[in-house]
């Protein structure tokens, strides 16, 4: 029978429940178990797709096109398991489902209530997260214990233990042990109150994972064990580390997987962990031989989580080459013309322009792309980054003055980016979004073909506007390579420039498929081009000296 682990958080938000869930998933998978992960989010939005990244960070896209919480990106990167739309559930989605059933008369004219109707719907979704082959479902409850909006989820997972059986359900609570510098002490009282709040809601945690800046001594662990009524060996320390990818090793050392397996009475297929190359990759990550400086030109750079998958993909590719990445956050709204642009972009090894929606910052992105193209700086454009690259090329190489995108300037004289006729549905703009994995056919003489080693690839999309086919011949005649298209040749998927160290842009989002020990080829190409240029520059300096 499938086992269930429920992860709650206390004391403060942003405590790292997603990393703990991901790390536990990595450990259980390394023991040979089949796992699935689920995030329950208490907000009333149907999904984060309509939220500003400043509100909720990055929108992560699954293979089947679901716009989900960024924690699903952590889950996939840590466990190398492709999740689906069933892996993220919001309060809004649950209430919508229940109300639609009520409108159809499914409840036989009865009064619809939070308990049992909302909680039953939540439990049904949790059950649906498991396939017949699933050994363990790890479910993270968003928010902090005590939040009013989380109560239906807390009540639902309380009932699950009774429904599924005590030996099949485990509660894990992530809490914070603050260090008061003035008195030089760690304080357990916030965690005690957090556990008391959870117990007031009928849940007695089996394991306590303690986020801390410093080592928890035996006295602190004993105190937490006594006052939170948790076995001492189930008080797990999770100390701050330089990289989130070190957390699974720390939790393994603390015995987290052992505790989970014992309490769920699970006998794993493998007693010894198989890290599947994860340990070797982390060893590279911890001992970089050099550092590359990559400029990320975006409109949400005040909140790095808005580009979480992008920055992690850069680190994946760099670590393989024993290299670290220093990201220079460049706000696309800044003055990016004339001599001012050099102040932002000089001294960079590479430039990356990520995706986004809305006109703000577009001209800054276009200016940065022009700089990268004309200065021979390795460049990678993602989604809107490709569209901006096409606009820049159309204006400055093809001579199409005023070239733009229909998204930002529908009256522009040359709409080189537009909604294609085959996709146009002005009555339902949401229906024009391309979401999820789509195929792309690469040219055999392209850089991306060499990087992927395949003609047909699949990558995840999240966009509405496409390169306008009316301008493709002009663009190609002037030297822009359409290196990848949809298999029928109708939609442009990737562009490149010959004779440039690395000038590649994709309509898709390769960052969503990048893994620590299997970096995205697009990002690997960027990192390798930056390293090659640096090496050639050092060689030239030696020759001159």
Burial class (CB in 10 A: 0-12, 13-18, 19+), 387: buried
Q: Determine contact, residues 284/300, Cβ cutoff 8 Å.
A: no
Give the active site residues. 383, 509, 511
Closest to 506 (Cα-Cα) out of 440, 418, 409: 440
Residue ranges and CATH numbers for the domains of the chain are: 3-276 (3.40.50.300), 286-537 (3.40.50.880)
- pLDDT tens digits along 346-374: 999 999 999 988 888 899 999 999 999 99
Residue 309, helix vs strand vs coil: helix
CA 405/CA 306 separation, integer angstroms: 23
Are 508 and 515 within 8 A, CB to CB?
no
3-state secondary structure of 293: strand
Looking up tokens 């995108």, which residue turns up? Answer: 405
CA distances from 360 to 150, 158, 214, 306, 512 (A): 35, 46, 43, 16, 24
Task: Give the chain's count of helices (H) and strands (E).
Answer: 18, 23
- In whole angstroms, give the CA distance from residue 87 to residue 79: 14
Integer Cα distance of 280 and 245 in angstroms: 12
| Sign of the Cα pseudo-torsion (487, 493, 496, 502, in order) | negative
Tell me the H-state helices in 229-351: 247-254, 256-263, 278-286, 308-320, 339-345
Predicted local confidence at residue 333, as pLDDT:
83
Note whether 436 and 443 are within 8 A (CB). Answer: no
Which helix (H) or strand (E) segment is 400 a member of? none
Task: Return the structure tokens found at 173.
Answer: 């609570």
Rounded-to-integer distance, Cα 234 and Cα 209, Å: 8
Query: Scanning the structure block, which residue is given the tokens 């709650």?
Result: 8
Strand partners of residue 435: 462
Tell me which residues of the chain have a pLDDT lower than 70. Answer: 335-338, 421-432, 538-545
Which tokens in the block code for residue 289? 């031989």
CA 431 to mean position of chain CA atoms: 24
Tokens representing residue 239 in the block: 């100390």
CA distance 415 to 402: 9
Of the candidates 169, 163, 157, 125, which has an alpha carbon nearest to the alpha carbon of residue 3?
A: 169
- Cis-peptide into 116, omega within 30 deg: yes
229: enclosing H helix or E strand: none
Run of H or E residues at 485:
strand 480-485
Write phi, then psi, for 81 (nearest 5 degrees).
Answer: -115, 125
d(CA 259, CA 480): 57
Q: Say which DSSP state 411 is in.
A: T
Q: Is the pTM of this model over 0.75?
A: yes
């Amino acid at each position: 029978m499938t086992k269930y682990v429920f992860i709650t958080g206390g004391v403060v938000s942003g405590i790292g429940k997603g990393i703990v869930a991901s790390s536990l998933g990595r450990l259980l998978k390394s023991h040979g178990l089949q796992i699935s992960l689920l995030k329950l989010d208490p907000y009333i939005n149907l999904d984060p797709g309509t939220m500003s990244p400043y509100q909720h960070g990055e929108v992560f896209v699954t293979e089947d096109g679901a716009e989900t919480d960024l924690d699903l990106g952590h889950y996939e990167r840590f466990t190398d398991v492709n999740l689906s739309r069933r892996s993220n559930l919001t309060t809004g989605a649950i209430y919508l489902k229940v109300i639609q059933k009520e409108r159809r008369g499914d409840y036989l004219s009865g009064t619809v209530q939070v308990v049992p109707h909302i909680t039953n719907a939540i439990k049904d979704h949790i059950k649906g997260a498991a396939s017949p082959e699933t050994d363990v479902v790890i479910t993270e409850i968003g928010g902090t214990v005590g939040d009013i909006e989380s109560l239906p989820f807390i009540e639902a997972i309380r009932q699950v233990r009774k429904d599924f059986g005590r030996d099949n359900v485990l509660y894990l609570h992530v809490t914070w042990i603050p260090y008061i510098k003035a008195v030089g002490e760690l304080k357990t009282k916030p965690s005690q109150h957090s556990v008391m709040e959870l117990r007031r809601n009928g849940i007695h945690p089996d394991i306590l994972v303690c986020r801390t800046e410093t080592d928890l001594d035996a006295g602190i662990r004993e105190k937490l064990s006594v006052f939170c009524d948790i076995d001492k060996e189930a008080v797990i320390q999770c100390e701050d580390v330089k990289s989130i990818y070190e957390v699974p090793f720390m939790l393994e050392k603390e015995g987290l997987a052992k505790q989970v397996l014992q309490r769920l009475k699970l006998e794993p297929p493998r007693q010894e962990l198989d890290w599947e190359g994860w340990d070797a990759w982390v060893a590279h990550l911890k001992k970089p031989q050099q550092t590359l400086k990559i400029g990320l030109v975006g409109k949400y750079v005040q909140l790095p989580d808005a580009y979480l998958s992008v920055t992690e993909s850069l680190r994946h590719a760099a670590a393989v080459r024993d290299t670290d990445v220093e990201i220079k956050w460049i706000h696309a709204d800044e003055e990016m013309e004339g001599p001012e642009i050099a102040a932002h972009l000089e001294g960079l090894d590479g430039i990356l322009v990520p995706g986004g929606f809305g006109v703000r910052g577009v001209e800054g992105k276009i200016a940065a792309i022009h700089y990268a193209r004309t200065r021979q700086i390795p460049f990678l454009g993602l989604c809107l980054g490709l569209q901006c690259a096409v606009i820049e090329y159309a204006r400055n190489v093809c001579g199409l003055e005023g070239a733009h995108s229909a998204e930002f300037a529908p009256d522009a004289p040359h709409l080189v980016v537009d909604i294609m006729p085959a996709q146009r549905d002005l009555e339902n703009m949401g229906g024009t979004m391309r979401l999820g994995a789509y195929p792309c056919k690469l040219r055999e003489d392209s850089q991306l073909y060499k990087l992927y080693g395949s003609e047909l690839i699949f990558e995840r999309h999240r966009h509405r506007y496409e390169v306008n086919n009316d301008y493709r011949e002009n663009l190609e005649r002037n030297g822009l390579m359409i290196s990848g298209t949809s298999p029928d040749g109708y939609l442009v998927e990737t562009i490149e420039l010959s004779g440039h160290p690395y000038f590649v842009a994709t309509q898709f989002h390769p960052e969503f498929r990048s893994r620590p020990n299997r970096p995205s080829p697009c990002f690997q190409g960027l990192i390798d081009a930056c390293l090659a240029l640096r090496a050639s520059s050092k060689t030239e300096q030696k020759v001159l000296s």
